[in-house]
Structure 1
Amino acid sequence: MYKKKSQLPPGPTPWFFLGNLLQKDVLPLNKNYSKLVAKYGPMFTIWMGPKPMVVLCGFDVVKDALVDHAEAFGGRINSPIIDRLSKGHGLVNSSDMQWRELRRFTVMTLRDFGMGKRSMSERVQEEAVCLVEALAATKGQGFDPTTSITPAVSNVISSVVFGIRFDYTDKTFLKHQRIIENQVGFFHTILGLVVRIFVALYKMMDSQYLRLRVSSSFQLYTAVPKILDCFPGRHQKIFSDSEELCAFIHENMKLHRQTLDPQNIRDYIDCFLIKSEKEQKSASDTFRTENLVMTVFGLFLAGTGTTSFALISGLMVMAKLPHIQAKVQQEIDEVTSATRAPIMEDRVRMPFTNAVIHEILRYPQTSNETIPRTTSCDTKFRGFTFSKGTVVAPLFTSVHHDPLQWETPEQFNPGHFLDEKGQFKKKEALIAFSAGNYMSLW
């Protein structure tokens, strides 16, 4: 540990074996990064158990790494938890060649089915009508928005992947929604048993450690997976639930195979099966059943959690800032005349609404950071030499709250995305969906 430490950017002193995992002045990073930056600079090293991770903070450093040195910082991390969930298949494929091929195929297929185009907008509009009806059924009473929003988001993904949508009350659909939410929630909560073990060992913890969030729980398993695999707990249920959801996807895939019509392609699964038949005579085994199941699993897991979070954040903003809500509603009414739903082409005529949506993506200081990446080769970067395989974590919260890039970084301010004439303006410092070679589909 100390040999590696001398070669990396400075950072808080790690404890033996545990590193910085249980140090409340280090994790979660979204709460402590500013103090660490003030002490060590915009690049510092923290230790996830015995494993170092270099944290990049601020727009200039993150952009320099992810965009200007995209190839060097584009390596994929070997994560024990992701490896166990995926078994090395799908969009986290252990084979770099297969991963690139699957990623390329998936991006092209999703685009063919309308990702970023009007046809996808129509799918969203259709689901939005169902969502509004579900919310209206509460008749003004208090409710948990996730119970409606998460299924709505999943239905949009389902329409592309499975070619169908599910009723919000469908028992199988609801069960699988809970599994997906638990998968996402695993990265948002502690592994309680392990924390208690550490409490007993060190007697140095207070109640704050019982509120370790996303990064800490994910990285705790990453640091000591073999130890955690020996104990019961929520993490074990996550793995068993994953098997159940994959079994459902597998059954759906078999039904697709039985009814497949190459002249009438219905969805992503059809496209994959057709591609699989074409590749049967080739040496590549990329388009096999295991990769299809885990790719679909990954699309649901990644797409549902992030999109649901953004929508619920938007509702919270509307509820807490009624003057913002009123101005957005006024602009929508002026453009659509309350006679139709907004369409993609209306975006240029709704600069304030567009600015609010972008600010919703910027503002939250969540501990749900990107999955770290690694250096793909020995790399010299800003005075340090990173050996191949060094784990690097760009901290997007630090970018979205960088005082050098935003006038009022700690306030919700749609003006960040408006020019002096009130027209929408893009901001390079908004990287809500990451950047560089690693930015989409892992």
Structure 2
Amino acid sequence: MTSAAGIAFSNGERWKQLRRFTLSTLRNFGMGKKSIEERILEEAQFLVTAIRNKKDTPLNPNRLLRCAASNIICSIVFGERFDYEDKMFLTLMEMIAENIQNLNSPWIQLYNSFPTILDFLPGPHKKQFQNAADLLNFIKQMIQSHKESLQKDFPRDYIDSFLIKMEEEEHKHDSEFIHMNLLWTIMNLFLAGTETTSTTLQSAIRILAKYPHIQEKIHSEIDEVVGSCRRPTVEDRVKMPYTDAVIHEVQRYIDLVPMSLPHTVTRDVEFRGYLIPKGTCVVPLLSSVLKATSQWETPEAFNPNHFLCENGHFKKSESFMAFSAGKRICPGESLARMELFLFLTTLLQSFVFNPVIDRKNIDISPVISGFSVVPNDYEFYAISR
């Protein structure tokens, strides 16, 4: 099987080397350290300011949440953040949102089955390819800009680190540190780092607006642990079990990427009476665990108690597989966990989110669920606390 470029869909030696390098580089640029925490907290303040500027008028937070989440991965990969009104940045965000929407549409499923036929027909699949090409061109420009200003002794971000590694291995005929892998790994990180976190935050706000008693409990926990005079920190999470439980339950309930990414069987496997030969491509169905009746008290309902013990302490669950499982578990898991906690607690420290419509009419189930989940759109009042 030929391995795709980048980290998300590659396998074998290419995947091993790119994953190892990516994890190491993300750690070097602060994943799990205070520096990335500071970046998230700074971005959270930009987000709070942008929402506050709406002056208590109805707002759909999706665009702002997408920009905020994207700026974190942009700061690590590209070495810079973008203003929420930057036209180029907003165009990129619109293209990402459109591609996620299209990726879950019947058109793309039809294209996967009949590509030679649909190549001659109009439809969303045409826009999918054009958006992908435009995103790649943007990344190519960023790489070229980094090449022109690169200082080997002072890598600024992921691109610099990869370019330095490319130069170190330029005489290795089998090196995986080549331009195509850099291009597609950045694309993988950029898309995943933007859409997954923002969609989870969108869902959290929608759920909390529907269930005000849950939002009130988080407000009380924030007031007790953090107060109003300082910013939340990652260290606060262990003292805020209810907030942590709600975030985990949001991830479990929305089942963001139901089918995970493709895996390849490394040896012959017998599963439920069937033989899966070595080399077979398989797609794990995460929903079968995240919504299993044998694992959760109320699998189809939103219930933070799934992650709380009788004493109100946070309770881990082996069935929580929101970041997938095994060796291909999401490399940005710790970054995403930090983002979700710091963004959500900062927002709820500053605002109460109330729906514009009757909260009984808010549908917290996804409007589309295919490769990934696309939530329903609603407007909210963000009332300053």
Give the TM-score category using the shorter length. Answer: 0.7 to 0.9
Deviations 1:2-51 (A, max 9, x none): xxxxxxxxxxxxxxxxxxxxxxxxxxxxxxxxxxxxxxxxxxxxxxxxxx
2:87 alignment partner in structure 1: 171
Which string of whole-angstrom CA distances, capped at 9 and with x for unpartnered residues, describes residues 222-245 of structure 1? Answer: 333223223222111211221111
Matching of residues 299-318 of structure 1 within 5 Å: 299-318=189-208
CA-to-aligned-CA distance 1:356-388 (integer Å, 9 cap, x gap): 111111112567532333423332223221123
| Paired residues for 1:277-426 under 5 Å | 277-364=167-254, 368-426=258-316
**Rounded Cα–Cα distance in structure 1 between residues aligned with 2:154 and 2:280:** 47
C-alpha displacement at 1:315, in angstroms?
A: 0.3
2-structure distance, mates of 1:93, 1:148: 29
Residue type at the aligned position of 2:311: K
AA matched with 2:247 = I
Distance 1:235 1:155 in 2: 27
Tell me the CA shift for residue 389 of structure 1: 4.0
Match status 1:429 vs 2:319: yes
Match in the other structure for 2:14: 98
Divergent runs of 4+, >4 A = 92-95, 365-368
2:353 aligned residue: none
Number of the residue aligned with 2:347: none
Whether the aligned pair in 1 keeps the contact of 2:47 and 2:65 (CA below 8 Å) is: yes
Whole-angstrom CA distance in 2 between matches of 1:265 and 1:353: 37
Residue equivalent to 1:439: 329
Does the alignment pair 1:269 with 2:185?
no
Mapped to 1, the partners of 2:136 and 2:191 lie a distance apart of 12
> Over residues 298-348 of structure 1, what are the superposed CA-to-partner deviations in whole Å (9 max), with x where a residue is unaligned?
111122111111101110111001000011011011111211111011111
Aligned equivalents of 2:283, 2:144: Cα separation in 1: 39
SS at match of 1:91: coil
TM-score (norm 2): 0.81
Distance 2:67 2:312 in 1: 35
- The counterpart of 2:38, out of the listed 122, 140, 157, is 122
In structure 2, runs of 5+ residues without a counterpart are: 333-385
Provide closer, same or farther for how the CA distance between residues 109 and 251 of structure 1 changes in structure 2, counting only shifts above 3 A. Answer: same
Residue of structure 2 in register with 1:211 after alignment: none
Say if 1:419 and 1:95 are closer, same or farther in 2 by CA, change over 3 A: closer
Residue 162 of structure 2 contacts residue 177 of structure 2 at CA under 8 Å; is this kept in 1? Answer: yes
Counterparts of 1:365 and 1:280, CA distance in 2: 42
Q: What SS does structure 2 have at the residue aligned with 1:90?
A: coil
Calculate the TM-score normalised by the size of structure 1: 0.71
Aligned AA (1:177) = M
Of the candidates 127, 130, 133, which is equivalent to residue 237 of structure 1?
127
In the alignment, the residues of structure 2 paired with residue 317 and residue 276 of structure 1 have an alpha-carbon distance, to the nearest angstrom, of 45
Please give the root-mean-square deviation of Cα atoms over the aligned residues, in Å. Answer: 2.1
Structure 1 CA distance, aligned partners of 2:73 and 2:257?
Answer: 25
Residue of 78, 82, 96 corresponding to 1:162: 78
Question: Partner of 1:125: helix, strand, or coil?
Answer: helix
Q: Give 2:63's aligned amino acid.
A: T
* Matched length: 332
Separation in 1, partners of 2:135, 2:40 = 24
1:48-82 deviation digits (Å, cap 9, x = unpaired): xxxxxxxxxxxxxxxxxxxxxxxxxxxx9x8xxxx
Q: Which residue of 2 aligns with 1:10?
A: none
Matched, 1:228 2:118: yes
Partner SS for 2:207: helix
Aligned equivalents of 1:129, 1:263: Cα separation in 2: 32
Q: State the AA in 2 paired with 1:350.
A: M
Give the deviation of 1:391 after TM superposition: 4.0
Give 1:409 deviation, angstroms: 1.7
CA contact (8 A) 2:143 2:159 kept: yes
Cα distance in 2 between the residues matched to 1:344 and 1:441: 19
- The structure that has the greater radius of gyration is 1
Partner of 1:69: none
* Identical pairs, percent: 46
Specify every segment of 5 or more residues in structure 1 that has no aligned partner in the other structure, as ranges. 1-75, 192-216
Note if contact 1:184-1:301 (Cα within 8 Å) is conserved in structure 2. no
* Cα pair distance change 1:92/1:147, threshold 3 Å: closer
For residues 384 and 366 of structure 1, the distance between their equivalents in structure 2, rounded to whole angstroms, comes to 28
8 A contact 1:373–1:391 mirrored in 2: yes
CA distance in 1, matches of 2:256, 2:70: 22
Do 1:366 and 1:397's aligned partners in 2 also have CA atoms closer than 8 Å? no
Q: CA deviation at 1:258?
A: 1.2
Q: CA deviation at 1:407?
A: 1.4
Q: Which amino acid aligns with 1:424?
A: F
Partners of 1:333 and 1:262 lie apart in 2 by 46
Which of the residues 102, 105, 128 maps onto 1:186?
102
Find the counterpart in structure 1 of residue 59 from structure 2.
Answer: 143
Q: 1:377 to 1:263 in 2, by over 3 A?
A: same
Query: Quick one: which of 89, 108, 115 aligns to 2:5?
Result: 89
